[in-house]
Amino acid sequence: MEYIYEMPAKMLEESDKKGTVELLEYESKTYDDANRPLNKKALVYLPYGYDKAVKYNVLYLLHGGGCTYDYWFKLFPDTVKILDNMMANGVCKPCIVVTPTFYHDDADTKVHDESRCENFQFEIRNDLLPAVEAKYSVYSGAEARDHRAFAGLSLGSMTTYRAAFYNNYDLFAYYGPFSGCCGPFGDHEVEVERIIKTVTEGKEKGLDLKFMFCGNGDKDIAFEEHKDIMEKVVAKCDLFKKDENYDFYIIPGGVHDINAWHLHLYHALQVFFEN
């Protein structure tokens, strides 16, 4: 794939083949007792021409700290234009994109607690995936892993590692951590070992990593820690093979903002669901 560092203008135009975005509501009993379920929400992008008779790949896409499920599609509606144009022009395969939240409710967005990153693993498995599979035409069962991707930005990137990769590796074959792995106070060596352990044990169980697409800008506040961790992983583990199932895309001058994350998404979708 040839990388670009500025979103093409044509990707930000209104497409004649527009997908739709709708609200998905579901209950989660993961965190509170069974008598007090959480009412959770996610937005779901359905590609142009969505057909219930066709099975679709699905990307689960997270926001960052202090934001919520409507970040990608409502706060930054250009995301929808990019998806529309990518799929209409054959830049990536048509897919469903789900934007959930790892926060419990609106008040919870004001609580800085990185345990949310790891704890979201249970909601993914027990509540979110079943809700999506019950309503939309997506793959389920043993074959579903090769048709699922998980990505996120900033705190959502950390959640991609901790909730989806480390703890639900049997559910997802593609990963897109955008801007960070462990945060400024994390232990790099611990993360390196967890990453290697995940793919090594997964391989032993017959679960290959189809692709991990890391994205960051070289002026991003999360760049140095993310780069250091993944460089150590690649040096120690031959299960990460550049351009085959792994890459680290760096935007020169890129910072911690939506312009960079749109570019990460644009490139990630070109390698997801291809292996």
Given a contact cutoff of 8 angstroms between Cβ atoms, the answer to whether 56 and 137 are in contact is yes
Could you identify the residue written with the tokens 């690649």? 234
Nearest to 227 by CA among 204, 209, 247, 208: 247
Please, which residues have CB within 8 angstroms of residue 81's CB and are 6 or more apart in sequence?
A: 11, 12, 13, 14, 15
Phi-psi region of 266 (alpha: psi -120 to 50; beta: other; left: phi over 0): alpha
* DSSP result, 185-209: TS-HHHHHHHHHHHHHHHHHTT---
10 DSSP 8-state letter: G
**Strands, E, within the chain: which ranges?**
20-28, 38-46, 57-62, 95-99, 148-153, 174-178, 211-217, 246-251
Taking residues 49-66, report their average pLDDT.
97
- Is 3 among the domain residues? no
Would the pLDDT of 36 be above 80?
A: no
- Is 1 among the domain residues? no
User: Residue 235 belongs to what domain range?
Assistant: 9-271
pLDDT tens digits for 218-274?
999 999 999 999 999 999 999 999 999 999 999 999 999 999 999 999 999 999 998
- Is 4 among the domain residues? no
23 three-state secondary structure: strand
pLDDT tens digits for 100-151?
999 998 888 888 778 889 999 999 999 999 999 999 999 999 899 999 999 9
How far is the C-alpha of 82 from the C-alpha of 74, rounded, in Å?
Answer: 14
- Is 21 among the domain residues? yes
**Number of folded domains in the chain?**
1
Write down the pLDDT at residue 164: 98
- Is 215 among the domain residues? yes
CATH number at residue 27: 3.40.50.1820
- Is 121 among the domain residues? yes
Would the pLDDT of 10 be above 70?
A: yes
pLDDT tens digits for 190-233?
999 999 999 999 999 999 999 999 999 999 999 999 999 999 99
> Model-level pTM greater than 0.85?
yes
- Is 165 among the domain residues? yes
- Is 62 among the domain residues? yes
In terms of C-beta density within 10 A (0-12 exposed, 13-18 middle, 19 or more buried), how is residue 205 classed?
A: exposed
Q: What is the number of other CB atoms lying within 10 angstroms of the CB of residue 165?
A: 23
Given a contact cutoff of 8 angstroms between Cβ atoms, the answer to whether 217 and 223 are in contact is yes
State both tokens at 30: 């993961």
Could you identify the residue written with the tokens 């895309």? 249
Q: Percent of the chain scored above 70 by pLDDT? A: 98
